[in-house]
Amino acid sequence: MKKKLLYALTILIFATTYISCSDDDNGDNEPKLVVPEVSVQNLSLKNTILPAQKIKLRANIINKTQADIQWLTNGVEIAQDSIYEFSSTIEGSFNIKVSASNILGETSDSLKIKVIDGFKISDIKNWTGEGENQSIMAIQWIYKDVKNLLHPEDEEIFFLAWGYKWKNAEKRTGYDMIEAIAKKDPKLFVLVTSDGNQGMVIKGFGYDGNGDGKIEIKSPNSNSKNGLHLTETDFKNGIYQQKNANDNIDGFEILSEGDYWIGGWHEAYTSYWLGYGEAVLEAEEYEYSNFYANHRFLENKSWDAWTFSPINSTETNTAPRPELLKAAPNN
């Protein structure tokens, strides 16, 4: 009996001590209420979208004790959850704002979303291959005598896109796509060079702009380099492989009327850009590629764009101009 009384007394003393300590705490362990901080995270990584396309946004909140969330589009409240999906069937610029507030105050963050009916995969007219996967090849030519190669004017740009299809069971590269499209489209001409185990280097792209089935380009003699004179007969299945390392690939002049050429190696070159999605609507969505096309494995809805960039000390490249992109005709 004594043991039971001693045990009960011990429990009572412990409980009394715990309650006393809890009372002395006076709530000091509770989080201190402060003004919440909020920022917008763009989970879709795109600021420009097609009509009806969705962008997922998240409100990241610090000190979110008793915080209320509010999303506004162009000043109109549209949601109160931490995740918000924006979509619009109307073209335009939209200011998306999120705020977080409590009794102590409010903070906010915002970003702008553009909705434009730009060039998309479904606009492609010239398709090569078969399969459930689709990739896009786009080439941005410029007209003769462009004064600023790095920043050509809109009217100095000729930008075309082709489509390429392949099956899931197949692995296809950017070079596979170039080779297949050049073989199918008689207007497209490609100059390449072998770099041993590294594969094929793209040295230039030509296009029969007037559709007469001909193209003629000529490079000058330069120091130890020999001038090169090519016509459509030199391109087999649309491709000419450089035969002599001493051939001058720079400074080609277009002799055939109404045609286009970009290419080179020491003075200027064809720069390679990669994008993804149903549409690539802004230049910033393209990523410069440091790899040869045969090392780039295609993905469904991947975009390969080529531009003409000068060789300069700043290593700055000419960016693609998606707003000027047009579908190559189906020949």
The pLDDT score that the predictor gives to residue 313 is 65
Question: How long is the chain?
Answer: 331
User: How does DSSP assign 197-266, residue by residue?
Assistant: GG-EEEEEEEE-TT-SS--EEE---BTTBBP-EEEGGG-BTTEEE---TTB--SS-EE-STT-EEEE-SS
The pLDDT score that the predictor gives to residue 146 is 85
The pLDDT score that the predictor gives to residue 311 is 86
Q: How far is CA 185 from CA 162, 163, 211, 256, 330, in A?
A: 10, 11, 11, 18, 8
Predicted TM-score (pTM) of this structure: 0.83
DSSP 117: -
For 146, the token pair is 């462009």
What does the alpha-carbon distance between residue 307 and residue 288 come to, in Å, rounded to a whole number?
A: 11
What does the alpha-carbon distance between residue 308 and residue 148 come to, in Å, rounded to a whole number?
A: 11
The pLDDT score that the predictor gives to residue 148 is 87
The pLDDT score that the predictor gives to residue 136 is 99
What does the alpha-carbon distance between residue 200 and residue 189 come to, in Å, rounded to a whole number?
A: 15
Task: State the architecture of 37-115 in CATH terms.
Answer: Sandwich (2.60)
The residue extents of the domains of the chain are: 37-115, 121-327
Collapsing DSSP to helix, strand or coil, 1 comes out as coil
The pLDDT score that the predictor gives to residue 230 is 98
What does the alpha-carbon distance between residue 225 and residue 40 come to, in Å, rounded to a whole number?
A: 55
The pLDDT score that the predictor gives to residue 30 is 61
The pLDDT score that the predictor gives to residue 28 is 55
The pLDDT score that the predictor gives to residue 32 is 81
The pLDDT score that the predictor gives to residue 23 is 46
For the chain of 331 residues, list the mean pLDDT of each consecutive stretch of 10: 45 45 51 89 95 96 85 95 96 97 94 97 98 98 87 95 97 98 98 90 97 96 90 98 93 95 94 96 95 96 97 84 97 80
Contact between 73 and 96 under an 8 Å Cβ cutoff? The reply is yes
What does the alpha-carbon distance between residue 146 and residue 144 come to, in Å, rounded to a whole number?
A: 6
Q: Which amino acid is at 45?
A: L
For 176, the token pair is 């596979």
CA torsion angle 152 153 158 160 (round to 10):
80
